[in-house]
Amino acid sequence: MRRLEFMGQVFHRSTNTIARVSIYGAVFLIAALGWAVYELSASPYVTDVNVAKDQPVPFSHKHHAGELGLDCRYCHTSVETSPSAGMPPTQTCMTCHSQIWVKSPMLEPVRSSYRDDKSIQWVRVNAVPDFVYFNHSIHVNKGVGCTTCHGPVADMPLTWRANTLQMSWCLDCHRNPEKYVRPRSEVFNPHYAEPANQLEIGLELVKKYKIQSLTNCSTCHR
């Protein structure tokens, strides 16, 4: 017992501070961790937003849809009728490229696909998870333009994903469709610019097209 007299305190006074800092700091640490996870999940690394993908043929929407002015539906034929917009068969490419740029080495995969009857394997740019059932035709018919979701396709030399396609992004429009809808005549216009009085026009269109704000789960999940 006597020996205790010579022993000082087990912990130095400064440990009080350390304890306080670490207790309060843990809150920030956890918050920071949460923020990091959120940032990561929303970052282009995860969402692929603004990441142009390499394709077997460096197809340029900028050239075809922007400069030449091909209609979206020339290639994506089923966009008005089916859940899927449709990817053009090689045959569609060959409608023009059997006549022009027939020698271009860049187009060799297209020609060989047509010749050998083997599909071109494009890399998917826009995708939703398998438990989401997205239907192109109803969106197009209700005045949601291609570029609203797919971004400025007419300016994309190689295609990239313009939006996260995450659920909060979907809900933003499903809750407030008036912020995004455009006249049906402009749906396939890749150069369409949002008018200054979008909300005003939007509200009118929502009424005219009988657009419902569908946010119940089975709208998309089945």
Partner 1 sequence: MQKTDSQETMTTDDNSKERIDLDALRARAKDAGPQRMWRSLEELADTEEHRAFLHNEFPNDPEKDPAGTPRREVLKWMAASAALAGLSGCTKMPEQKIVPYVRAPEEIIPGKPLFYATTFVQGGVGTGVLVESHMGRPTKIEGNPLHPGSLGATDIFAQASILDLYDPDRSQVVIHEGRISSYAAFLSAIADLRTNLAPTKGKGLRILTETITSPTLGWQIQELLKEFPEARWHQWEPCSRDNVREGTKRAFGRYMNPVYQFDKADVILSLDADFLYSSPGAVRYARDFASRRNADGTGAKMNRLYVVEQGSTTTGAMADHRLAIRASDVPDFAAALADALDVQLPGLGSGKGKTPAGVPANWIEALARDLRAHRGSCAVIAGEQQLEAVHTLAQALNVALGAAGNTVIYTDPIEASPTIGYTSIVHLNDDMDDGKVQALFILGGNPVYAAPDDLNFTRNLLKVNFRAHLGPYEDETAELCHWHVPATHYLESWGDARAYDGTISLIQPLIAPLYDGKTAHEIIAVLEGHADKTGYDLVREHWKLQKFDKGFDAFWETSLHDGVVSGSALSSVLVKIDSSLTKEESHFVLDHFPGFPFGPKADTLEVVFRPDPTIYDGQFANNGWLQETPKPITKLTWDNTAQVSPATAEKLGVANGNVVQIVIRKGGGARGIEAPVWIVPGQADNSITLHLGYGRTRAGRLGTGVGFNASTLQLGAEPWIAVESIIPVDLKVTKTGKTYPLAATQHHSMIDANGHKEELESVNAFQRELVQVGTLEEFRRNPKFAQEKTETPPKELSLYPGYEYKGYSWGMAIDLNKCNGCNACVVACQAENNIPIVGKEEVMRGREMHWLRVDTYFRGDLDAPETYFEPVPCMHCENAPCEGVCPVAATVHSPEGLNEMIYNRCVGTRYCSNNCPYKVRRFNFKLYSDFVTQSLVPLRNPNVSVRSRGVMEKCTYCVQRIQSAKIEAEKQDREVRDGEVVTACEAVCPAQAITFGNINDKQSRVSKWKASPRDYTLLPELNTRPRTSYLARLRNPNPDMPKSEKG
Which residues, 9 to 38, sit near partner 1 by CB under 8 A? 37
- Per CB under 8 A, does 130 bind partner 1? yes
Identified binder of partner 1 from the candidate list 19, 21, 30, 127, rule CB under 8 A: 127
Which residues, 149 to 208, sit near partner 1 by CB under 8 A? none
Spatial separation of the C-alpha atoms in residues 38 and 14, rounded to whole Å: 35
CA angle 54, 168, 134 (to 5 degrees): 65
- Per CB under 8 A, does 104 bind partner 1? no
Give, in order, the Cα–Cα distances in Å from 120 to each of 62, 71, 88: 20, 22, 10
**C-alpha 151, offset from chain centre:** 8
The pair of three-digit structure tokens given for residue 48, joined into one six-digit string: 């692929």
Query: Which segment (24-32, 65-73, 84-92, 179-187) binds partner 1 by CB under 8 A?
Result: 84-92
Question: HSE-up of 174 (CA within 13 Å, CB side)?
Answer: 15
Which residues here bind partner 1, judged by CB under 8 A? 37, 40-41, 45-46, 48, 78, 81-84, 86-92, 113-114, 117-124, 127, 129-131, 133, 135, 137-138, 141-142, 210, 216-219, 221-222
